[in-house]
A and B are shown apart, each in its own frame.
Chain A
Amino acid sequence: MFKKGLLPLALAGALVLTGCTDSNATDPNAPKDDKVVVGFSVYDMQYEFFQKMEKGTREAVTAKGWEFKLHDEKSDENEMVTGAQALIDSGVDVLIISPFKPSALGPIIAKAKAKGVPVIVDDIGGGGAPYDAIVISDNSGGGKLAAEYMAKQIAANGKTGKNVASITCEPSAVYAARRNAGFKEAIEKAGFKVVAELSGNSKAEEGYKVMKDILAKNPDVAGVFACNDPMGVAAANAIKDAGKSPVKDIVAVGFNADPEALTAIKADGLAATVAQDPTAMGALTVKLAEQALNKTAITFDNAAEREVYNPVQLISKDNVDTVK
């Protein structure tokens, strides 16, 4: 009976059997062997954002004729530490990681240092660990862009209401929280008041419910900013279900430029979103990885934190067609 259970496993294993023995045989202390192996530990392949990041990274790696190894953290800090360390054990020459919990980078980088493997962090955050470089979107700046757009759009709609709402990600996402913080600072500077700041735990279902509650308490809100697009589009749906327009009545702005947000913007189902470019970020990490391997100096935007910024951009109906 249990042999049957192992059969699919064995098949699955055999199907994807890679050159595991080869890479194990590689001496990890010699980064300049025939073929450079890049390990990429990704936050969670369930999300389109990270699928794009993986694509950008993988394509840049194969373009250089290097070997690519993927590990999926599946939104779990234990899997992140175990799997990323296993990548290092398996003999990768450089580790690129988009960490589920940046504060858990310590043990991974400790292991990488012991084996002489450079570590490039892609987005999310660095958690104060001694990584070689981090590519990061300007979260706070993105929130500011959203606020500026919202203030302009509310005025264009001819609304005089000065109340707006802000929907946050799950409380542990401290880096994503910078988007809401940047938004709040800029929108208050523009003379608005954030009357509700509630968490939708990054989930679309909860974003919808939270927006319903906001509408019940403050039917006069003129705009809402959500920390990610699933919640932004969900909040826009709640606004539509209340018989209002998420563009003309209550200006709804999301973050990420996920496909669902772009589709919604084209159909007036969302006013705007802030685009990060995960594909370009992935490619940029590979460029930095090469520099780290060759020991050439990296130009940082913020040298103290070894940060390299990838610009963010506001996407509304005016420029949505320019986005792939």
Chain B
Amino acid sequence: MAVETDHGIGEAVAARIERRWATLSIVIVGVLVGMATFIGIHQATMPQGRVETADPGTLHLSGEFIESNLGSAVEADGSVTVRAIGQQYSFTPQCVVVPLETPINFRATSADVVHGLLIEGTNINTMLVPGYVSVLPIRFKALGEHVMPCQEFCGIGHQGMWGKVKVVDKTEFLNRTAAKRRLTCVD
């Protein structure tokens, strides 16, 4: 009889400890999700808001991704727009030049298969899916050069698809835009 009672008590204790742990687990998950939500909204680090499209079949003929429109351009409000294309197995422009401490709107797409790009030493990272435009608000806080590899398997030449990003002083950048509407490293 005593054993029975002990068993009953033991079971109640076991269930109580287990409930406590379950509650703690729910709190842990809740805090993590809450943190991500708060940072996402508070610091406006939400992913791309809407879906934009671009036909890879006519990219080179019309629209914002024609060759003469690729590269970095200064907008009326002082921000910079960078437009780029990924294709097997290079980026156009192959070297992107951007000014320091300036809000930059990065717009890119793919001309053939799925590519991606990331800029090493930064948190800039996006996919390039043919048919869709990837839009990314970025800002550089230090001068220098970064490598920009394609981060998605895009065929047997994938390992050779490395671009570059050069961050230059803002006045130097503006001086160069005076001579040319769309900048790349080689201009």
**A and B bind:** no
**A residues lining the B interface (CB < 8 Å):** none
